[in-house]
Each structure stands twice: as C-alpha cells, then as structure tokens.
C-alpha cells in the first residue's frame, strides 16, 4: 500500500485501486478490510494519510521520495550532458544511482507492481547508460571496460551496453575484442530470438573494421539535443495512459510510433511530455520537439541543425531533408515528439528508417498512419481524479462544504484537465467565490468560455486548435449544433441543421466523434455534445455564420423534431387524434427513415432532449407550444407530470409574450387535463374554463370539443350528472364534426358512465357499443381498454361481478402492453373492488396495493387515495388475512 501511494503522481488512490494493486485479479473477501487495516498500521507508524470520498492521500512531497529524487537528478544530468558538461553530468548520475538499493519494488509480486518495477528498473539502466556515455565523453574508456563487461553479462541481449563496450575497447586499442563482443551478441540474438543486431550496431561494427577516425573522438555524437519542454505539474488520473505510452516507447523492438489522441483540453501534451521525460534515458542521443508543424520542411531543417548537420549541408525540399534525417538517425537513438499534429503529412517525413528511434505524436483525432502505429486515447478525467485536480485550487474544505457544486463544476468542465486547472486557479485566487456561484456561471452556455479564462490561460485555444483540424463540413455542423444549443443530436437533427441528406449527416457526426466534439451514445444512433462544446460552437457560429442562415438551420431542426413527434403520437393514438395541431413548419431531411417502433418508448427515451427543444423554441411561439404539447399521449398515460408542467410553463410564457391566443388555449386545455389526473379539480376548472372561452372566441370547433370532453369528466367527478350529460353530448357532437373518432369515443365512454349512474342502462350500453366501434376502426388500444373498463363496471353494478372480471383482465392486459399508468391504476382499483364483491379479499388487497403504488409514484393523488381507502375497508372489516395485509403494506 505504501509503495502504491508513493508511486502515484498525486499520492492518492481509491480503495479499489489499492485492492487491484495488492491482489490483482484475485482479491480475497477481506481485501477491503485489509486495506483499511493497512492504512491504520501506516498511520500508527507515523505516516500521514488523509481520506476523502473513499480516496486515500499520502502527505509526502517528491523531494522526500528517493524514486523521484532519482528522476530529478537524472533529468538534470541529461540537461548537463546536452550542454556538454559531461563531468557534472557523470557526478549527478553517480548521486542518482547511489539512491538505489537492489531491484525496484523487490518482494511486491502483484501484476501491477511487476509492471511498475519493470519501468523503474529500465530507468535505472537508462541512468547507467547515460553515466557510461558521460565517462566515455570524458575519455574514461579504460575505466569503464570492466563495468561494461559485467553489464553485458547481466543483460546479454541489451545492444546499448554492447555498443558502449565496443567503443571503450576500440579506444583502448583492443579492436579485436570489440569485434568479438559484437559476434557474441549476434550469436545470442540469433539463438534466443531469431533476429540480427540492429542496423545501428552493425554500422558500428563496420566503422570499427574501417577504423573510422570519428570513433576516436571522446563523444560519439557531435550534438545531443535535449529539446523537451519542462515536465508538467501534477497529472491526476493518468497512470494508465502513462504506463501504456511508456511501454510502447520503451519496449517495442521495431521503431515505435505512438499517437496520443483526445479532445481539446484533455491534456494530451502534458501526458505525452511526462511520458517522454520518463523514457528519455532510452534515447541517449537526444530528444527533439516541435509544436508548429505547418511547414514540415522548416521543422526538418531545425532538427537536422540540432543533430549537428551544418546549415550549408541541409538540402532544399522537405523530401531531401527527410531522407537526410533518416540517414542521420540510422546510427542514433533519438526520441522525436510532434505536438498538435493535424494530418499524416506532418508525421511521415519524421519517421526513422531503422530501429532505435521513436516518434511520439499528439493529435485530436486518430491518424491514417502505418499499421504498426500504436494509438493511446487520453479521455476526460473520471470523477475522483477530476475532483482531486479541482481541490488543488478550491481546497478540501470548500469542496467538502459544497460537494454538489463541486461535482457540477467537474461535470461542466467535461472532466478536461485544462478547464479544471483554470477553474482551480480562479478559485485559489478568489477565496470569496463560492463553488455554487461559479457552477451557476459555468451553466450558462453564453458565459462558459469566458469563465474558463484566468491568469493568461484559457480553454478556448485548445478547443480552437482542435476545431481548426476539421474539414469545412464538420466545422459548419459543430457551429450549428452549438447555436442550436441542445446536447442530444441525432443524424436527423444534424441533417436538418446542415440541410444535407441523413447519410451525409451521419458521416459528419462520425468525423466530429473522431475528434471528440461529440460522443456517440450506446444506442449507436444518437450523439451527445457537452455544454462546454455547445458554448464553443455557438461562439464560433456568431463569428463565422450569418444570422439568417443560423435561424433557418434552427427552424429546420425544430421542424424536423415536430415531424418525429407527429409520427410518435400517431403510433400511440392513430393519426392526429386527441391532440390539437398548429401551423408550425415541419421538415423532413432527405433520406430520413420511415417511423418504426412504439411512440411511447421514443418519447420516454428523448424526453430530456424534448424539454431542451421546448426551451430553445421559446422565441417561436407557434413551434414552442406545439413542441410542448407533442408528448400529450405520453403525459396522459400517467408519466412525467413534472415535465408536463415545466414544458407548458415555458410555452405559456412564449405564447403570451407573442399574443398567440390559440397557443394559450391549447396549453390551458392540456394543463387542465394534467390537473384532472393529479386530482387538482380547482386547477382543472380554472384551466379548462379559460381554454374553452378562447376556443369559443376563435371559433375553434375541435379545440372546443376536446375541452368539453374534459369538462364533462370534471362534472362527473363532482357528481353533477345532469350537467356532465349535457357537456358530453355537446363534446361528442363537436368531435364528430371535427373527424376525431378517438376523442369522440372517449366522450361517449364518459357519457355512458353518466347514463349508467342515472339508471339508463340501455342508453349507456349503446354509447359503449358506438365508442367501441369507433376505437376499433381507428385502432386505439387505450380507448378500447377504457371501454372494457366501463363495460365491466356496468356488469359489477348490475349485480354480476363475475362478468366484470374477464373484461377488466383484458383491459389491464392492454394497459400494461401500451404502458398507460393512468389506465392501469384505474383498472386495478376497479379489479380490487370487484374481487371484494366476489369474496376474494386477498387478491383484492394485492390489486388495490398495486393500484395505490402506481398512482402514488405517478402523481395521481385521487386514484391513490381511493385505493388506500378500499384497502382500509378490507382491513377494518376483517376481510383479509394478516399475511395479505402485511404483504400489501410492504
């Protein structure tokens, strides 16, 4: 545990990561308790370990850990060697190597420790190689022969020690022994690996045979460039990516090429630089770095100059320079880091032709490069790592005081280290600024880019660099997605925004996904665009696009969504039945698929996006109210009463601001419907009266008929049968004239219930028969379930409850099939009361308990109250067993 915490860049680790480190894939049942006990033992031994959010953090600086002191000294020595101060480099490396006491992590044998030990042991060997290089540069070739012979024996397949031994022997006038060292290695490689020595080592042998005068020089390479920028600071949550990059660069037998990808601001450069510093010892002949690759020919010239090629010897043309670079690198071990690559053309000229060198590339998207290139993706930080980074500026106390706001900030920063570092710096500089207030600012898409700027740093350049790598088509689409401002994006929406066929939009979205501007969702059909990138896209749209083009794009997108909601409603209610329509424009992109699947599932799946679209359409009142009412068939099924209210409040403000009377009437009608279902009869009366008045004023026969049907329901509930009868008759007539058979059938069902309550059984049955014919003709399962329920109640009240049960069971089966919670709870309530009459209190109690639960969860207070009273009746009258009552209560 101590080793794992010491070697973590943040000195922190979760319980799960400690278990993985200690036990690997086979943790014991007591592993978690063992970790807690281990922390306790370390604390009793004087080790300071804090815990927060189930993450342990060791209070220790890098200067107090030998491993990191060693790495610091090694880096200093590399810089000294680059400045040709070989004496000080050798002295510094001696000090670094004296910190070692045997192999790294000796005695720790779990898989993660074995892998970590291999990395640290390689670093030690790299330091030994560098110290021998320094000694050779100082002319100490005789002094290092014995050590090199021992190193060659201990590492018989390591070519670098063999090369150094050959040079030391040759300079000591022992050329034949130098050649013998080569032959010994060649035989071992062929016997054990079936390979030959590298071209660089074969070239060294040839130069010894030719007695190349350059080998007599104290330093083999004329110039050793050390161009890597300084190591980054804390890298939270990047251990896995670092291990992968280091392994690819240090362990691959052929010339490695590693491409590090990730979204803008993900910290690709920081991770790559840290990895480059960690493997620098594997490349003793230098490290080259470039982050401006617009002109590869100029970069090639700079690299050649750094490697000692005189300016007059550097040829013209990128091709000739690339060829010369391959020649220069053929006998060296150099690491090339190319930061911010935008295409293969910026990489291919720098690829060496022989083993021994490596190229590390950062790019927003994967590149079409040779097949043996390794790709490492740097994702957004997970929650614990992101909070650790945020805490560097916010401080633990502020994080603990406002945990919800801290989590929201992490979410709004998309887990991007660059964004989190900026926010952390801002919080550190402004101790008065609350996390909640900052989260509120970041939540505004128009402000988020401005908030992610502090102390000369900004997230915008990182995003802009990634954006500029995109072709024109994807750039235009991300601008329109941003201006649209809704995070959920389908191919149909993208097609509408871009005004292109759906298959073209799919290609554009895939390009944006490759560059991390959008994220594919698990269903493979939709994408998510983070709020930060929405804000960026909107900002670019305002800079690059005209207002008319943007407005037209949004209108098409909203019209396309209305086309989808029309189809979803039709699949639930049949055509445009039972819903008022307006004049908002519809849009269908070329290549759009025909509707498939149930509408209720589609509405459920897209409800969050739908609500965002209602907000987006607030400036277009007709579109706004049509969007708000579009899921009415889902709402009336007893789900999402909160979304129903929120969407209608947004739309009501829009239509009132625009003076859109019909929109107001429709929304008041819908809100009246909602009030009826939740048992708010005063609210229902208010909304329905206002809706009816506006519909009558506008001469809207259909809207008036729909509203009258609900007014009839309210009168029936309020036990005003005479008034309800009159209203239902008027509603049915208006809906018949409007051609809505389903709504007419619903009005007839209500009328039948009133007629039955007044003893007019034949007339009631006639209404039900007419309603059943209408709903079967139109194909409405919901109306059929309601009719069967009414037929069952007729039978129960007529004294034949045994005839009611089969009808209710069929109705319940329909309600479950279509997912209608309102009808389900009503039928279960009736089924429970019917089974009381049939003398089956246990089954009745269970049905009533289920009815109450569905109604309570869905927000239908009246139905829940009635079911609860019926259950109490069973209990009070001793009609149920204690077991049934207990089960129902549970």
Q: What pLDDT, on a 0 to 100 scale, did the predictor assign at position 803?
A: 84
Question: Would you say 729 and 715 are in contact if contact means Cβ atoms under 8 Å apart?
Answer: no
First-to-last CA distance in the chain? 45
400 alpha carbon, distance to own chain's centre: 25
Q: Residues 335-354: what's their mean pLDDT?
A: 90
Q: What is the pLDDT of residue 131?
A: 92
Phi, psi for residue 429 in degrees, rounded to 5: -80, -20
Show Cβ contacts of residue 363 under 8 Å, excluding neighbours closer than 6 positions: 259, 260, 261, 268, 340, 341, 342, 469
How confident is the model at residue 880, as a pLDDT? Answer: 46
3 state DSSP class of 779 = coil
CB 389 within 8 A of CB 233: no
Q: Rounded to an integer, what distance in angstroms lies between the CA atom of residue 475 and that of residue 511? A: 10
The yes-or-no verdict on residue 539 having pLDDT over 60 is yes
**Whether the Cβ atoms of residue 267 and residue 416 lie closer than 8 Å to each other:** yes
Q: If pLDDT is split at 50, 70 and 90, which confidence band does 655 have?
A: very high
Instruction: Identify the weakest region by mean pLDDT among 540-544, 731-735, 880-884.
Output: 880-884
Convert the pLDDT of each residue in 715-767 to its tens digit: 999 999 999 999 999 999 999 999 999 899 999 989 998 998 888 888 988 99
How many whole angstroms separate alpha carbon 539 and alpha carbon 441? 16
Rg, Å, the chain Cα set: 38
pLDDT exceeds cutoff 90 at 614: yes
Question: What is d(CA 580, CA 628) in angstroms, rounded to the nearest whole number?
Answer: 12
d(CA 622, CA 785): 33
Q: Is the pLDDT of residue 889 over 50?
A: no
Query: What is the C-alpha to C-alpha distance for residues 756 and 724, in angstroms, rounded to an integer?
Result: 13
Residue 817 has pLDDT above 70, yes or no: yes
Residues 433-443 have a mean pLDDT of 92
pLDDT of res. 28 = 81
Per DSSP, the three-state class of 257 is: strand
Cα–Cα dist 306/762, whole Å: 102
- Residues above pLDDT 90, as percent of the chain: 42
pLDDT of residue 748: 94
Pick the closest to residue 419 from 459, 456, 390 (CA basis): 459
Q: Is the dihedral of CA 564, 565, 566, 570 positive or negative?
A: positive
Mean pLDDT of 790-800: 79
Residues β-bridged to residue 376 = 260
pLDDT band (50, 70, 90) for residue 636: confident
- Per-residue pLDDT averaged across 70-85, rounded? 82
Work out the pLDDT band at 259, boundaries 50, 70, 90: very high
- Name the residue among 761, 823, 758, 834 with its Cα closest to residue 792: 834
What pLDDT score was predicted for residue 370?
67
* Nearest by Cα to 571 from 779, 743, 739, 772: 779
Q: What are phi and psi of 528, to 5 degrees?
A: -120, 135
Cα dihedral 435, 438, 442, 448, rounded to 10, equals: -140
Listed residue (677, 679, 745, 740) closest to 704, CA to CA? 740
Alpha-carbon gap, residue 805 to 870, rounded angstroms: 17
Any long-range contacts for 231-235 (C-beta under 8 Å, 24+ apart)?
231/75, 231/273, 231/274, 231/277, 232/269, 232/270, 232/273, 232/274, 234/9, 234/10, 234/389, 234/392, 235/9, 235/10, 235/267, 235/270, 235/271, 235/274, 235/417
Q: What is the DSSP code string of 712-740? A: HHHHHHTT-HHHHHHHHHHHHHHHHHHT-
Residues 334, 312: contact at Cβ < 8 Å? no
pLDDT by residue (tens digit) across 351-404?
988 777 899 999 987 776 766 788 899 988 888 888 888 888 888 888 889 999
- Which residues are CB-contacts of 456 (< 8 A; sequence separation ≥ 6)? none
- In angstroms, what CA-CA distances link 585 with 616, 620, 622, 650? 15, 11, 9, 20
Residue 392: C-alpha distances to residues 25, 56, 363, 425 (Å):
32, 15, 28, 8
Q: Mean pLDDT of all residues in the chain?
A: 87
Q: What percent of the chain has pLDDT over 70?
A: 96
Residue 221 has what pLDDT? 44
**C-alpha 673: how far from chain center:** 38
pLDDT at position 371: 66
Residue-wise pLDDT tens digits, 549-558: 999 999 999 9
Closest CA to 474 of 415, 521, 419, 527: 527
Residues with Cβ < 8 Å from 80, sequence gap 6 or more? 86, 88, 89, 92
Measured CA to CA in angstroms, residue 603 lies from 561, 595, 606, 634, 642 at distances of: 11, 13, 5, 7, 15
Query: Would the CA dihedral through 687, 691, 692, 693 be positive or negative?
Result: positive
DSSP string, 200-241: HHHHHHHHHHTT-GGGGSSSSSS---B-PPPPPS--TT-HHH
> 356: alpha, beta or left, given left = phi > 0 and alpha = psi -120 to 50?
left
Judged by phi (left if over 0) then psi (alpha if -120 to 50, else beta), residue 430 lies in beta
CB 712 within 8 A of CB 679: no
pLDDT digits (tens, 9 = 90+) for 19-68: 877 777 777 888 888 888 888 898 888 888 888 767 888 888 778 888 88
Under the banding of pLDDT at 50, 70 and 90, the label for residue 254 is low
Phi, psi of 3 (to 5 degrees): -65, -45
- Please give the full DSSP string across 824-866, using - where no structure is assigned: HHHHHHHHHHHHHHTT-HHHHHHHHHHHHHHHHHHT-HHHHHH
pLDDT tens readout for residues 300-318 = 999 998 888 888 888 999 9
Short-list 592, 595, 629, 598, CA closest to 614: 629
Please give the pLDDT value at position 222: 46
Give dist(CA 181, CA 275) in Å, integer.
33
């Amino acid at each position: 545990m101590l080793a794992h915490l010491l070697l973590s860049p943040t000195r922190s680790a979760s319980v799960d990561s400690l278990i993985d480190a200690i036990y690997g894939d086979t943790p014991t049942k007591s592993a978690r308790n063992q970790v807690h006990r281990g922390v306790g033992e370390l604390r009793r031994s004087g080790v300071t370990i804090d815990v927060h959010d189930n993450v342990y953090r060791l209070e220790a600086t890098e200067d107090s850990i030998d491993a990191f002191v060693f790495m610091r000294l090694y880096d200093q020595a590399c810089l000294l060697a680059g400045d040709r101060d070989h004496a000080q480099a050798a002295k510094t490396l001696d000090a670094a190597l004296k910190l070692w006491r045997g192999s790294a992590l000796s005695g720790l044998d779990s898989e993660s420790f074995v892998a970590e030990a291999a990395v640290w042991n390689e670093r030690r060997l790299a330091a030994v190689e560098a110290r021998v290089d320094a000694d050779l540069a100082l002319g100490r070739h005789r002094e290092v022969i014995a050590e090199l012979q021992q190193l060659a024996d201990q590492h018989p397949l390591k070519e670098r020690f063999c090369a150094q031994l050959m040079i030391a022997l040759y300079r000591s006038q022992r050329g034949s022994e130098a050649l013998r060292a080569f032959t010994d290695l060649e035989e071992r490689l062929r016997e054990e690996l079936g390979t030959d020595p590298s071209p660089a080592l074969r070239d060294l042998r040839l130069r010894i045979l030719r007695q190349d005068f350059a080998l007599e020089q104290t330093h083999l390479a004329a110039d050793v460039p050390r161009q890597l920028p300084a190591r980054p600071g804390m890298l939270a949550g990047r251990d896995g990516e670092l291990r992968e990059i280091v392994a690819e660069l240090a362990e691959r037998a052929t010339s490695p090429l590693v491409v590090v990808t990730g979204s803008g601001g993900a910290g690709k450069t920081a991770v790559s630089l840290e990895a480059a510093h960690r493997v620098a010892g594997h490349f003793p002949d230098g490290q080259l770095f470039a982050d401006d690759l617009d002109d590869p020919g100029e970069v090639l010239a700079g690299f050649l100059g750094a490697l000692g090629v005189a300016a007059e010897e550097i040829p013209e043309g990128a091709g000739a320079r690339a060829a010369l670079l391959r020649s220069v690198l053929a006998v060296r071990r150099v690491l090339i880091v190319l930061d911010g690559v935008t295409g293969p053309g910026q990489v291919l000229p720098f690829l060496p032709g022989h083993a021994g060198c490596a190229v590390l590339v950062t790019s927003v998207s994967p590149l079409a490069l040779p097949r043996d290139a390794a790709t490492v993706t740097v994702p957004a930080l997970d929650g614990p790592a992101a909070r650790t980074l945020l805490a560097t500026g916010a401080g633990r106390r502020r994080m603990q005081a406002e945990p919800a706001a801290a989590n929201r900030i992490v979410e709004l920063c998309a887990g991007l280290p660059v964004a989190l570092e900026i926010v952390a710096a801002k919080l550190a500089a402004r101790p008065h600024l609350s996390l909640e207030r900052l989260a509120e600012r970041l939540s505004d898409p128009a402000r988020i880019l401005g908030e992610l700027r502090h102390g000369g740093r900004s997230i915008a350049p990182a995003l802009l660099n990634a954006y500029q790598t995109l072709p024109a088509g994807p750039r235009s689409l991300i601008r329109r997605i941003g201006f649209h401002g809704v995070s959920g994006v389908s191919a149909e929406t993208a097609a509408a925004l871009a005004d292109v066929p759906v298959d073209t939009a799919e290609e554009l979205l895939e390009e944006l996904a490759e560059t991390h501007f959008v994220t594919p969702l698990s269903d493979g059909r939709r994408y998510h665009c983070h709020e930060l990138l929405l804000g960026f896209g909107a900002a670019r749209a305002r800079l690059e696009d005209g207002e008319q083009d943007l407005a037209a794009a949004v209108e098409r997108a909203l019209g396309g969504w209305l086309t989808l909601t029309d189809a979803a409603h039709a699949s639930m209610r049949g055509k445009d039945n039972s819903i008022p329509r307006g004049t908002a424009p519809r849009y269908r992109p070329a290549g759009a698929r025909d509707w498939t699947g149930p509408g209720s599932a589609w509405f459920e799946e897209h409800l969050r996006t739908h609500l965002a679209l209602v907000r987006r359409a607030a400036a277009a009142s007709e579109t706004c109210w049509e969007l708000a009412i579009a899921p009415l068939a889902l709402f009336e099924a007893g789900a999402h009463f909160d979304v129903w209210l929120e969407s209608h409040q947004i739309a009501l403000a829009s239509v009132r601001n625009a003076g859109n009377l019909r929109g107001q009437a429709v929304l008041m009608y819908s809100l009246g419907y909602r009030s009826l279902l939740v048992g708010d009869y005063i609210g229902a009366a208010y909304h329905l009266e206002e809706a009816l008045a506006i519909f009558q004023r506008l001469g809207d026969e259909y809207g008036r008929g729909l509203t009258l049907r609900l007014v009839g329901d309210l009168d029936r509930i309020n036990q005003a049968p005479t008034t309800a009868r009159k209203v239902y008759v008027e509603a049915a007539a208006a809906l018949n004239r409007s051609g809505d058979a389903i709504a007419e059938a619903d009005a007839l069902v209500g009328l039948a219930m009133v007629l039955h309550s007044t003893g007019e059984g034949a007339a009631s049955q006639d209404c039900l028969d007419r309603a059943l014919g209408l709903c079967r003709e139109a194909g409405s399962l919901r109306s059929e379930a309601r009719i069967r329920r009414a037929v069952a109640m007729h039978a129960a009240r007529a004294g034949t409850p045994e005839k009611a049960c089969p009808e209710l069971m069929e109705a319940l089966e329909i309600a479950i099939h279509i997912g209608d919670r309102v009808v389900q709870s009503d039928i279960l309530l009736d089924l429970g009361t019917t089974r009381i009459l049939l003398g089956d209190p246990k089954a009745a109690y269970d049905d009533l308990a289920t009815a109450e639960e569905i109604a309570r969860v869905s927000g239908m207070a009246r139905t829940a109250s009635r079911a609860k009273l019926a259950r109490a009746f069973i209990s009070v009258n001793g009609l149920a067993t204690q077991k049934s009552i207990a089960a129902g209560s549970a």
